[in-house]
Amino acid sequence: MSAPMTFPNDFLWGGALAANQYEGAYDADGKGLSVQDVMPQGIVGPRTEAPTPDNLKLEGIDFYHRYKEDIALLAEMGFKVFRFSIAWSRIFPKGDETEPNEAGLAFYDRVLDELEKYGIEPLVTISHYETPLHLSREYNGWADRRMIGFFERYARTLFERYGRRVKYWLTFNEINSVLHEPFMSGGINTPKEELSEQDLYQAIHHELVASASATRIAHEVSPDLKVGCMILAIPFYPLTPDPRDVWAAKQAERDNYTFGDVHVRGAYPGYFLRKLRDKGIELDITEDDRRTLAEHTVDFVSFSYYMSSCETATQEREASGGNLMGGVVNPTLEVSQWGWAIDPRGLRTILNDYWDRWGKPLFIVENGLGARDELITGPDGTPTVADDYRIDYMNDHLVQVREAIADGVQVIGYTSWGCIDCVSASTAQMSKRYGFIYVDRNDDGTGTLERYRKQSFGWYRDVIASNGASLKA
Ligand code: BG6
Give the count of alpha carbons within 13 A of 436, CB side only: 28
pLDDT at 310: 96
Identify whether 278 is part of a domain.
yes
Alpha-carbon dihedral of residues 47, 48, 51, 57, nearest 10 degrees? -20
Rg (CA), the chain: 21
The ligand 1 atom nearest the CA atom of 424: 16
Distance in Å, CA 187 to ligand 1 centroid: 17
The ligand 1 atom nearest the CA atom of 42: 14
Identify whether 472 is part of a domain.
no
Domain that holds residue 211: 12-465
Catalytic residue from among 174, 181, 253, 311? 174
pTM: 0.97
pLDDT at 4: 52
Residue 370 beta carbon below 6 angstroms from any ligand 1 atom: yes
Going by CA atoms, what residue is nearest to atom 2 of ligand 1? Answer: 425
pLDDT at 356: 98
Among 287, 297, 226, which residue's Cα sits nearest to residue 265? Answer: 297
Identify whether 338 is part of a domain.
yes
Going by CA atoms, what residue is nearest to atom 16 of ligand 1? Answer: 424
CA–CA distance, 328 with 321 (Å, rounded to integer): 8
* Number of domains the chain contains: 1
**Which portions of the chain are predicted below pLDDT 50?**
1, 3
Catalytic residue from among 23, 114, 366, 403? 366
Which residues pair with residue 14 across a beta bridge? Answer: 81, 415
The CATH number linked to 355 is 3.20.20.80
Residue 136 beta carbon below 6 angstroms from any ligand 1 atom: no
Identify whether 471 is part of a domain.
no
pLDDT at 460: 98
Active site residue 138: no
Active site residue 174: yes
Identify whether 5 is part of a domain.
no
